[in-house]
Chains A and B, each alone.
Chain A
Amino acid sequence: ETGVTQTPRHLVMGMTNKKSLKCEQHLGHNAMYWYKQSAKKPLELMFVYNFKEQTENNSVPSRFSPECPNSSHLFLHLHTLQPEDSALYLCASSQGRNTGELFFGEGSRLTVL
């Protein structure tokens, strides 16, 4: 069982819907991340939180809104998405903010119709 849990695993939504992705880590890590993985493209960093403070926003459109209520939980709120936002959204955690040793959840596969 992974130490990073993401729900839902699959999500289909229309462009006018509002939905949220949830991530929970059970590893006692300080930092949490949202990554986007599209077909045949490298992982793209979206947001970073360290001790529940946002430390990076990698020029992500405002239709993606992160929330980190504590060091163990991370949300990604979605609204008025576009079909090109369809991708695998991966949550990760790490002990430190800048380490390359990331522990990923299984991802939430999002399809925007």
Chain B
Amino acid sequence: RKEVEQDPGPFNVPEGATVAFNCTYSNSASQSFFWYRQDCRKEPKLLMSVYSSGNEDGRFTAQLNRASQYISLLIRDSKLSDSATYLCVVNIGSSASKIIFGSGTRLSIRP
């Protein structure tokens, strides 16, 4: 089983739609969680950290369920500019090698 698993997509949704991505992680000792965004042929950029109580940043909401080892990202009122690959990232330990990236979920927003 992969340490961090994501549905690769692609998700193809109309502008204005709400879209949700899920991510599961295998190590129950995981300590911190993040969503990154990567545009085509660009570097990954931190989108938001994920906190136990859930957190929101504008149209983006991240949730963490430790019991189910599951992280989600919800995008409301999607824009064309939201088209990108969304990477789930889990820090499972005390060294940098334990920062594990998922393979990413591709999102394409159509007009």
Contact = CB atoms under 8 A, between A and B. Distances in A.
B42 A106 contact: yes
B94 to A, nearest CB: 6
The size bracket of the interface on A is 20 to 34
The DSSP consensus for interface residues of chain B is strand
Contact of A106 (B43, B93, B99, B100): B43
B28 interface: no
Given A99-B91, A100-B32, A42 B101 contact: yes
Contacts of B93: 98
A56 B96 CA distance: 8
B34 interface: yes
Interface string B68-107: 0000000000000000000101110111111111111000
A45 B49 contact: no
B45 interface: yes
Contacts of A103: 46
Interface string A39-73: 01111010010000001101000000000000000
Interface of A: 2, 31, 33, 40-43, 45, 48, 55-56, 58, 90, 97-107
